Structure 1
Amino acid sequence: METTKKVLDKILSSICVVLFGALVLLVTWQVFTRFVLNNPSAFSEELAKYCFVWLVLFGAAFVFGENGHMRIEFIQDALPVKIKMVVQIFIEISIIFFSALVLLSGGLTITKLAWEQLSAALQIPVGYLYAVMPVSGIFIIFYCIYNIYTILKNKKPLEVV
C-alpha cells in the first residue's frame, strides 16, 4: 500500500507540474494575442479553463495524500491520543463519504450528462472537463483509506504537515 501511495504521489505531482506549466503558457499566449496582436486566441482561454479545473482537483487529491488539508488543529491537539485517533479516523471516513457521494457519484453523473455537449472553441465534449471529478474522488478515497491504515498500523495519530 505504501508503494502504491508513493507511485500515486509521484504521478499526481508530475501531472500538477505539467498542468501548471501548460496553464502559464496558455495564459501568457492569451495575454500576448489579446494585447499585442489585438486578436485574442479563441482556444487558449477555454483550454486554460480545462487545465485550471484539472489542476485544482488533482492538486486537492495530492494535498490529501500529503495530509495537508485544512483542519482545526488546536482542538485535536487538546485531545488525548486515543480520542485523537478516533477523531482522525472519523474525519477520514467523513471525507470518504463526501468523495464517494459528490466527487465519484456526482462526477460520473455530470460527466455522462455533459458528454454530448461540445465546448464552444475546442469542439470537444465538455465531459472531459468534468471527468476529473470521479478520478480525483478515487484518489482522495485511496488516500483516506491509506491514512486510516496508517493510524491503525502505527497506533498513533497522523502527524500534521
Structure 2
Amino acid sequence: MNEKVASWRSVLRLWIDRLNSVAALICHGLLVIITTITVAQVFLRFALNSPTSWSEEVALLCLIWFGLLAVAIGIRRHEHVAITFFRDLLPGPLATALDVLAQLAMGYFMFTVMLHAGDLIKLVGVQVLPASSLPKSLLYLPTIVGGTLGTLNAAANLLLGDIAPEPLDSTETSNAN
C-alpha cells in the first residue's frame, strides 16, 4: 500500500511541477512581450512622434495574465508574503496546523476567483477592447486559468505534504548579508 501512495504522490508531484513550469515559461514570455511593447511604444512616441493606440491595452492584458499566473505559481513555491514571526514562535504541530490553514485559505480564495470568473466573462459578452479590438473577455479569462492553477497548487501542497517552506539556516542568512 505504501508503494502505491508513494507512486501516486510522485506522479502528482511530477505533473503539478510540469504544469507550473509551463506556467512559468508563459510568465517569462509575457514579461518579454510587456517589455518589448513598452519600449517600442516609448520609442515611437518620443523618438518618432507616432505612438500606437493599441500598445497600452495589450501590455495591460499581458500584465493581468502574468499577475494571475504568478500568484498561482507562488502558491506552489511558497513565495507569497508571509509573516512567519508568530508561526516560528509556535510549537511544531501548531505551526504546521497554521501552515495547513494558510494553504486552505489560499486554495479557497483561488477557487472563489475561478468560480466567479465565468460571471465576469458572461457580463462582458462579446464586447471588444476599443484600441486593439481584442475580446474584452481576455481580461477575465486569466481569473479562470490562474484560479484553477492556484487551487490545484494549494491542493497539491496539502496532498503532498509540502506545507511550509524550509527555514533558512544560519549559513544561508550570513551569506546573504
CA distance in 2 between counterparts of 1:94 and 1:19 reads 28
Matched, 1:159 2:170: no
Structure 1 stretches of 4+ with a deviation exceeding 6 A read: none
**Take 1:115 and 1:32, find their aligned partners in 2: how far apart are those partners?**
35
Q: Residues 105-144 of structure 1: matches in 2 within 5 Å? A: 105-144=115-154
Structure 2 counterparts to residues 18-57 of structure 1, below 5 A = 18-57=29-68
In the alignment of these two chains, the number of paired residues is 156
Is the alpha carbon distance of 1:32 and 1:120 closer, same or farther for their aligned partners in structure 2, counting shifts above 3 Å? same
1:12 aligns with 2:18: no
Structure 1 gap segments, 5+ residues each: none
Write the letter of the residue equivalent to 1:81: G
Question: What displacement does 1:160 show?
Answer: 4.6
Report matched runs for 1:64-143 at 5 Å: 64-101=75-112, 103-143=113-153
The percentage of aligned residue pairs carrying the same residue is 24
Residue 9 of structure 2 is matched in structure 1 by none
Show structure 2 runs of 5+ residues with no match.
1-11, 168-177
**What TM-score, normalized by structure 2, do the two folds share?**
0.83
Task: Work out whether residues 96 and 140 of structure 1, in 8 Å CA contact, stay in contact via their aligned partners in 2.
Answer: yes
Q: Is the 8 A contact 2:75 2:106 kept in 1?
A: no
Q: Show the counterpart of 2:175.
A: none
Shift of 1:106: 2.1
Q: Deviations over 1:3-30 (max 9, x none)?
A: 1122012101100110000001000111
* Cα separation, 2, equivalents of 1:144 and 1:84: 17
Kept in 2, the 8 Å contact 1:68–1:160? The answer is no
Contact 1:30 1:40 in 2 (8 A): yes
Which has the higher mean CA deviation after the structures are superposed, 34-43 or 13-22? 34-43
Contact preservation (8 Å) 1:67, 1:160: no
Question: Who wins on radius of gyration, i.e. which is larger?
Answer: 2
